[in-house]
Chains A and B, each alone.
Chain A
Amino acid sequence: MKMNKPLFESIGSGVVLFLRALYFLPTLPRQFRRFIEQCFQIGYKTLPLVAILSFCIGAVLALQIGYSFRDWGTQQFIGSIVGLSMVRELGPVMTAIMVTGRVGSAITAELASMRVYQEVDALHTMNIPPERILVMPRLAAIAVTMPVLTITSVLFGWFGGAVVAQNVAFISLDSAIYFRSLKDFVDTAAVMDGLIKAEVFGIAVVLICCNVGLRTTGGPREIGFSVTRAVVASIIFILLLDYFITRALL
């Protein structure tokens, strides 16, 4: 029980941070420049990474399925399987994990260093809540960019699968058939479920990373510790949330 105290404290402070950031949401128009800058940092700069990785995942997935079922005459289902797994599972989860590595770690490092070098104290003495100018614009930015990143991930994953299915000799599945079988299984509900998941993951990751960063105390060494802690916590949280959201949405 004793060991869990920091865990409960972190979760508690995370919830408080979220509520305080929500409270400052109406001031978003005044933070518009920060919001756009964060959209650029979070969204635009992560897009190529998400696209390339998702393409590879889709491709490998098609390869594995095609190989496993090569003698069964069920190759046309590759489209459905790749399509559904990208939309419901791999797209949201892989995007969230890449956001953690590419964006979350940077957020924690920046906020932790602002804490350590007393910039956050300076904000407090100026009566400017850090939640308003540091946390809220980042949460708003991830809320807007996460669906875009996820859709990109899903599309590139599908495309990767199609390229492999068509060009690998032991699969040789025509793209038209691949996409037709994909369309038969992927419906609006599946897409919505995936996007909801991604949105929850994205907000959770940014919240965890902001919270860990703002709770950093000590010196430069603690900045590094905080980044590690934030990334590990985010990934564990993504995988746990994934199970429970999936259960809830099924």
Chain B
Amino acid sequence: MAIVSQESSQITVHEPVAVEVRNLCRSYGETQVLKDVSFQVEPGEIFVIMGPSGAGKSVLLKHIIGLERADSGEILIAGKDASSTKTHRDIRTGIVFQAGALFNSMTVYENLALYPTEHRLYDKETIRRKVMEALAIVSLEEAADKIPAELSGGMKKRVAVARALVIEPQLLLYDEPTSELDPILAATVAELIATVRKETNLTSIVVTHDTVLAKTIGNRVALLLDGRIHTIATPDELTRNDDPDIQDFLHPKIDLDNPRFRRS
């Protein structure tokens, strides 16, 4: 995987930001999805949020990026309210959606160039260089003129990461970046997240249920169970913790004689 050296890097470095989530609650109709969630992310950190499907991880990310409004509690990005559009205009934030959310009617190149073009950040030639650079980071230069429908699942994921990189974010959220990828590609994306963080010094929040990913790239890992933060710990602490819920999630034992779905 070609990672462009720091000197030649076209991706501009901005100050990383801190994120603080305070007593966040959110219900959809009768069901409460987020129950009093609080945590802090340090500037420049890779903060991993793990949890089973349906725990509320994607909902949490949507609140941080400002797509959803909380019922109560607040989220601060560099001290500013995450639910206001102005915050996201002042601070560059990006998200890699679980399903990619690429613009299906545009080519890969247009997908990446949209943000700098619409916000008139650079002249055409600079945008071209930056886009090609981002595509080079994810080894997809040759796919620039393809449309998303022509890409494989893994390629779409990498394009989604590249599109977020072009935004040159100070805070980047990843929603299950390695799900649906084969082990090699998953490792590539893990390396990518770590490299991006090293080269651009941004703050990353990674949602995943990939234990290997969490342990290798995370500075700290939060375990979200049923809408509540169960534990926040470093990967080592988490491995050593003997809480049955944690161990069951990290190393689920497949017990054919006593299947889970038959347990009361």
A118 CB within 8 Å of chain B:
yes
CB distance from A113 to the nearest CB of B (A): 8
Contact across chains for B104 and A128 when beta carbons are under 8 A apart: no
Closest residue of chain B to A110, judged by CB?
B105
Chain A 106-132 interface mask (CB, 8 Å, partner B; 1/0): 000010011001110110111110001
Count of B residues near A, CB < 8 Å? 23
The answer to whether A148 has its CB under 8 Å from any CB of chain B is: no
Q: Using Cβ atoms and an 8 Å threshold, which residues of chain B touch A186?
A: none
Q: A122 near B118 (CB under 8 angstroms)?
A: no
Given A126-B167, A127-B85, A127-B89, A121–B118 Cβ distance below 8 Å?
A: no
Q: Does A133 contact B (CB under 8 A)?
A: yes
Contact B89 A117 (CB under 8 A): no
Q: Of B65, B94, B104, B115, which one neighbours A119 at CB under 8 angstroms?
A: B104
B167 / chain A contacts, CB cutoff of 8 Å? 126
The segment from B12-20, B47-55, B95-103, B222-230 that touches chain A is B95-103
CA distance A208 to B104 in the complex (A): 23
CB-based nearest A residue for B115: A126
Q: Which residues of A contact B103 (CB under 8 A)?
A: 114, 119, 122
| A127, B118: Cα distance in complex, Å | 9
Q: Tell me what chain A mostly uses at the interface: helix, strand, loop, or mixed.
A: helix
Q: A127-B85, A127-B88, A127-B119 are in contact. Are A121 and B101 (CB under 8 A)?
A: yes
- Once bound together, how far apart are the Cα atoms of A110 and B106, in whole Å? 13
Q: Provide the bound-state CA to CA distance between A118 and B96, in Å.
A: 11
Question: Would A125 and B105 be within 8 Å (CB), given that A117-B99, A118-B99 are in contact?
Answer: no
Check B97 against A122 for contact (C-beta < 8 Å). yes
B67 and A125 contact, CB distance less than 8 A: yes
Chain A residues 70 to 121 lying within 8 A of chain B, measured CB to CB, are 110, 113-114, 117-119, 121
Give chain B nearest CB distance to A195 CB in angstroms: 32
Residues of A within 8 A of B88 (CB): 125, 127
Closest-CB distance, B61 to chain A (whole angstroms): 10
Closest partner residue, chain A, to B120 (CB atom): A30
Residues of B within 8 A of A (CB): 62, 65-67, 85, 88-89, 93-95, 97, 99, 101-105, 114-115, 118-120, 167
5 A-B pairs (CB sep. < 8 Å):
A118-B99, A124-B67, A125-B65, A125-B66, A128-B115
